Each structure stands twice: as structure tokens, then as C-alpha cells.
């Protein structure tokens, strides 16, 4: 069985983020064929094309971390009906300079949680538009808008609701199938 390394990016910079809790649950519920590693975005400065000739070390490390994984999983909140500024900033760093887009042909999945009843549906729609422009094949077979309630996910990533556990497990299985399918058709370029 082929194992795929999946980098996950938590869109929130908050230490107590409920999306960080969701990412911990997804790591636990991932099938054995997926190895999840966080790709942090907290320390990236604001992107400007002034950096294109010489990226700062933190941005080079960020792009390298993306290069070292087979796929990306975005775990994002919704801020003002869109994605957080920190996440958009990270995507800008990874997709630049022109011709060196780290997301090109890299399979991606999008998920998120919010206390609101529609979860992060609008933010995910915006993120999908950005990722389409970045030429990242997107998993669309299973969308996941999780309404977060206190106690749903513990600090260690344990999900308290059985139906949510089952849903998230199925999401991760579908992500595995999607990654395998995409990388069969579009093998990684070394």
C-alpha cells in the first residue's frame, strides 16, 4: 500500500482555534495510508512581490514544506464570510513568484468548522476559487461543513459525537481515494 504524506494548514492563527482541534481529530481519524504533518503559517510576514527575488528563510521553508508533501488539506475557519487573512497570505507566498506555484498539480482538500449552522461553507467556496486559480486539483466528492458545539472535540482530538466521528472518518477515507486517483493521473514532478 502506498503511503501519502499530507500537509495540513490550519487557517486560524489562534492558539485555541476550534479548527486546530478539528485538525487533531482528522490526524487521529486518517486511514493508515495517510501521514499528516502540519505546515505552519503563523510566522510568515505579509507577502509582497518585493520578496520575489529573495524569499525570507521562513517563506522558503514554507514552500519547501509544501514541496515535500503529496497533498494539502486546508482546515479553515470563516472570517467575515471568507477565509482568514493569514491563510490568504500563506497561499500568496506559496503560489509566487510567477512560474513557481507550489500548489500546481498538488491535490487538496478543504474542511472547516464554525459555531454557525452552515459551518464554513462560504469561506470554503472562496478558498476553492483561489485554489482553482492555483491549479490545485480539489476534492469535491465530499464537502464538509462542521457545526462546532462545545465539547465536540477534546484538546487531544477525540470527537465526542459518534455520527461526527463516522463522518470525519469517511471524509479522510475519501481524501485518500482522491489523492491516489489524482497522483495516478498526474504523478509528482521531481
Is the predicted pLDDT of residue 190 greater than 90, yes or no? no
Q: Return d(Cα 21, Cα 44) in angstroms, integer.
A: 22
Q: Return d(Cα 17, Cα 113) in angstroms, integer.
A: 10
Report, as an integer, the average pLDDT of 14-36.
97
Average pLDDT of the chain to the nearest whole number: 95
- What are the CA-CA distances from residue 39 to residues 8, 120, 122, 140 (Å)? 6, 21, 23, 22
Domain parsing of the chain, residue ranges: 4-185
* Segment 68-122, tens digit of pLDDT: 999 999 999 999 999 999 999 999 999 999 899 999 999 999 999 999 988 899 9
pLDDT of residue 186: 80
pTM of the model: 0.96
- What are the CA-CA distances from residue 121 to residues 43, 90, 93, 154 (Å)? 27, 20, 24, 23
* Segment 158-176, tens digit of pLDDT: 999 999 999 999 999 999 9
pLDDT of residue 82: 95
- Per-residue buried b or exposed e for 72-111, using 16+ beta carbons within 10 Å of the residue's own CB: bbbbbbbbeebbbebbbebbbbbbbeeeebbbeebbbbbb
The helix (run of H) or strand (run of E) holding residue 24 is helix 18-29
Report, as an integer, the average pLDDT of 35-57.
97
Task: Please name the CATH architecture into which domain 4-185 falls.
Answer: 3-Layer(aba) Sandwich (3.40)
Q: What is the largest CA-CA distance in the chain?
A: 50
Half-sphere exposure of 185 (CA within 13 A, CB side): 9
* Segment 107-151, tens digit of pLDDT: 999 999 999 988 899 999 999 999 999 999 999 988 899 999 999
Residue 6 phi, psi (nearest 5)? -115, 120
- Whole-number percent of the chain with pLDDT over 90: 91
Amino acid at each position: 500500500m502506498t503511503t501519502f504524506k499530507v500537509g495540513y494548514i490550519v487557517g486560524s492563527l489562534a492558539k485555541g482555534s476550534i479548527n486546530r482541534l478539528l485538525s487533531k481529530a482528522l490526524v487521529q481519524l486518517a486511514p493508515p495510508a495517510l501521514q499528516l504533518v502540519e505546515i505552519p503559517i503563523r510566522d510568515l510576514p505579509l507577502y509582497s512581490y518585493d520578496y520575489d527575488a529573495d524569499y525570507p528563510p521562513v517563506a522558503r521553508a514554507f514552500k519547501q514544506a509544501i514541496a515535500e508533501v503529496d497533498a494539502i488539506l486546508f482546515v479553515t475557519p470563516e472570517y467575515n464570510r471568507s477565509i482568514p487573512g493569514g491563510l490568504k497570505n500563506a497561499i500568496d507566498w506559496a503560489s509566487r513568484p510567477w512560474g513557481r506555484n507550489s500548489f500546481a498539480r498538488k491535490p487538496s482538500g478543504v474542511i472547516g468548522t464554525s459555531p454557525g449552522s452552515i459551518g464554513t461553507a462560504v469561506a470554503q467556496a472562496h478558498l476553492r476559487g483561489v485554489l482553482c486559480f492555483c491549479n490545485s486539483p480539489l476534492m469535491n466528492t465530499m464537502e464538509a461543513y462542521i457545526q462546532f458545539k462545545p465539547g465536540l472535540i477534546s484538546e487531544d482530538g477525540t470527537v465526542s459525537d459518534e455520527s461526527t466521528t463516522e463522518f470525519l472518518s469517511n471524509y479522510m477515507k475519501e481524501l485518500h481515494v482522491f489523492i491516489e486517483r489524482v497522483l495516478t493521473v498526474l504523478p509528482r514532478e521531481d
